[in-house]
Amino acid sequence: MYTANENRYEKMQYNRCGNSGLKLPAVSLGLWHNFGDTGNFENMKQMCFTAFDNGITHFDLANNYGPAEGSAERNFGKILKEDMASYRDEMIISTKAGYYMWPGPYGEWGSRKYLIASLDQSLQRMGLEYVDIFYHHRPDPETPLEETMEALAQIVRSGKALYAGISNYDGPRLEKATAILTDLHVPFVINQNRYNIFDRTIEKNGLKEKAKELNKGIICFSPLAQGLLSDRYLQGIPEDSRVRTDGRFLQENRINEDVLTKVRALNDIAAKRGQTLAEMALAWILKDGYVTSVLVGASKPSQILDNIKAIENITFSEEELKEIDRISQG
């Protein structure tokens, strides 16, 4: 039976999520990859143990994480039941619904029908009575925003989630969602969006500034650009790369010589800072206090330990920031 490290909170930094009472670790563990049926269960357990032993209290899932869909939640639920159930009150567990999960007109997007049914399924897969954060995973262009937000409100009122979140929204839609949820007196605390040195979408679509203005938290996924912002690709594409084994998210044609030149130049800056490229990339996201937490994925426990080192230095000089912008956005 797993026993947690008694000093687990000493090395982690915890940030308040907007103006709410909720705090999240600066580094959170995402279960998007490597927790599905194609993963090794013992390795999944060790990654969860390593994360928690080092102060990562937040475990982020979604209904469709796998492969196959739902399998990450099932596997995490098994780990909870067998080894970590006694630590449930020290954990923040989140899940989401919005992408395709089952056939027919009720299996995706943002209807009240889909969101409530999906969360019930997620809770059953994980063996939980509630999650701490439940997100609408992506904007729905057809369902009225009022219906989707009222569904989140109903979910929180029912006790099946403690806080509401939204994912992949832009600034204007965030503002509208906030107004609705404020009127409904819902504890809406967080936005989840892609953000990294290469992908500045949340700066361009108003989400980053609007979240700061409205006192809402931000948690970022793909902070390492699917591994590009690490030492994995400095010498080209390794044979065991996800590009070779699972091309759903990082395609080989994206890793050209121009991109690799940028990666190597960024790596040089990181080396001068005394950091790995991955550490610098995570630190860059946390540098200005706008982002509450970064979601890291991992294929082995040692990667989690490496990523946590990022919080040791999140201060950048103006010269460093200008050079990072010149390299990555040029």
- C-alpha 120/C-alpha 116 separation (Å) is 6
pLDDT of residue 33: 87
Q: What is the CA radius of gyration of the chain?
A: 19
Per-residue pLDDT of the chain (330 residues; tens, 9 = 90+): 899 999 999 989 999 999 999 999 999 999 998 999 999 999 999 999 999 999 999 999 999 999 999 999 999 999 999 999 999 999 999 999 999 999 999 999 999 999 999 999 999 999 999 999 999 999 999 999 999 999 999 999 999 999 999 999 999 999 999 999 999 999 999 999 999 999 999 999 999 999 999 999 999 999 999 899 998 877 766 655 555 455 555 555 567 888 999 999 999 999 999 999 999 999 999 999 999 999 999 999 999 999 999 999 999 999 999 999 999 998
| Contact between 169 and 145 (Cβ < 8 Å) | no
- C-alpha 169/C-alpha 192 separation (Å) is 8
| Continuous H helices in the chain | 41-53, 71-79, 112-126, 145-157, 171-183, 201-204, 207-213, 242-245, 257-272, 277-286, 301-308, 318-329
| Contact between 177 and 214 (Cβ < 8 Å) | no
DSSP letter at 7?
Answer: T
- C-alpha 193/C-alpha 122 separation (Å) is 21
Domains and CATH numbers, the chain: 14-329 (3.20.20.100)
DSSP letter at 221?
Answer: E
pTM assigned to the model? 0.94
Q: How many CB atoms lie within 10 A of CB 218?
A: 22
